[in-house]
Amino acid sequence: MLVTSKATTSPNRSAFPARNPLRRAAITPEMAVSAHETFMKHPWVNALWSKRGPGPEKLAHMEAILRVLREGGFSVDQACRGYHAVTMHTLGFTLQALDFPIDSTNMKAAATAFLESADTEAIPYVVEHVQPISTIRNPAMSLSSCSI
């Protein structure tokens, strides 16, 4: 049994008027976040997602993402690529969050220690990526959002 029923599988059409299909397509990130939250609550689902045939809940999830993309103006090929990009990003991000070697409560200290020991001139973009984590108030957010 695949646990995806708690994930949002259909867009809230009242929030996105039919006359603006591209705006309606913006709901896809909400669907990905919902799926990610479900995967985090049920980590065993990640291993099964790509290995088993789709059941009714997975098919509903797939249909919802593809519907939003197609009705948002994407071609069949673009919707296919978009679906796989959203799905693989969601699964990969979830696996990283579940298996990240630094506990979220130690993230700020780890970022600070890294910045103190790194050759910051050689890796300026890594530094600008890590630096906000060293000053973040809620270190648990560092894995769930780059908008710190």
- Extents of the domains making up the chain: 13-99, 104-143
**Whether the Cβ atoms of residue 9 and residue 64 lie closer than 8 Å to each other:** yes
**Whether the Cβ atoms of residue 67 and residue 15 lie closer than 8 Å to each other:** no
**Whether the Cβ atoms of residue 62 and residue 83 lie closer than 8 Å to each other:** yes
Distance CA 102, CA 108 (A): 10
| Cβ within 8 Å of residue 73, ≥6 positions away | 21, 22, 25
Both tokens of 20, joined, read 């603006």
Question: What is the chain's pLDDT, residue by residue, as a tens digit (148 residues)?
Answer: 334 434 444 444 444 444 455 445 445 667 777 777 877 788 777 777 767 777 888 888 889 889 988 988 999 999 999 888 888 888 888 887 777 778 777 888 888 999 999 998 999 999 998 888 888 765 555 545 454 3
